[in-house]
Amino acid sequence: MPRLASVELSFDPSFRALWQFMKPQERPSFTAGLLNDMTKALDFVEDSVGHAESKESPIDFLVLASKIPGIFNLGGDLPHFISLIEKGDRETLRWYAHVCAKGQYRRAIGLDLPICSIALVQGDALGGGFEAALAHDVIIAERGASFGLPEVLFNLFPGMGAYSFLARRLDSIRAERMILSGRIYTAEELHAEGVVDRLVERGEGEDAVNSYMVEFTRAAPARRALLEARRIVNPISLRELMWIADLWVDAALALSPADLRRMRHLARAQDRRWEKLVDKGQDANT
């Protein structure tokens, strides 16, 4: 199992579950380092199948969670975006968008393996963080967790799968309404809407994932067939996600100086929050 700087991998043999805990070294957003490690984690799953004697997946569940208290993931790397947009660096911005789109596609199709993917959200899942959760088969959230797509506040739209996944979980009208609102939704609200599959009490998220895996395993053939049926009825293609990612790049490069100021304001707020968490962690270790 690879040792990664930004993702802690833990295998639970009792459920044949691979837990991926995001633990970013920088801000809790999708920096290049975190994206690279998340890609390596998915590569590891695929490689483990290739090395298995039976050529069957030794992993039944793929779980994404976070080690950061109160934060699942805050989304895109805003300071990086601002720098690229101000330089007009389309190539690098497009590279970032395509890496995200490819990762989202791999999660959405379960790596084309008989794997059930689960997102455990125990804190804020904003922008790309919300989108990452949406790419999973099941979303389990603790009370107090928050979800939102703030991109519209600086005249952008979420380009890493929000429309694709919300339109499939809900419908296009409600997906657009959510994207254009720019507001923060509670886990309770999204559970009522059907976006969050299971709502559990604070601190009970990991136990809830284990309980779900027990239920799934008891009726594994039926559950796996149902997941496959869902993918047949609501298929998603890499082409769709890449096309939308390219639209996002075009929209990002068209942002005005005023839009970038609003993006920078949000980035600074996120950095202040991260600095407080880092300081608190250092105090706890002294």
Residue numbers annotated as active site: 131, 151
- Nearest CA-CA partner of 68 in 126, 134, 149, 13: 126
Is the separation of the CB atoms in 122 and 208 below 8 Å? no
Residues 6+ apart with CB under 8 A from 79: 264, 267, 271
First and final C-alpha spacing in the chain: 31
**10 has which bridge partners?**
19
Q: How far apart are CA 11 and CA 18, in angstroms?
A: 5
Is the separation of the CB atoms in 75 and 126 below 8 Å? yes
Packing angle of the helix pair 90-108, 32-51 (nearest 10 deg): 40
- Nearest CA-CA partner of 178 in 152, 212, 204: 152
Is the separation of the CB atoms in 136 and 117 below 8 Å? yes
Q: How far apart are CA 211 and CA 198, in angstroms?
A: 11
What pairing do the DSSP bridges indicate for beta strands 116-121 and 7-12? unpaired
Using the structure block, give the residue that is written with the tokens 């970032």: 96
- Nearest CA-CA partner of 142 in 119, 120, 166: 120
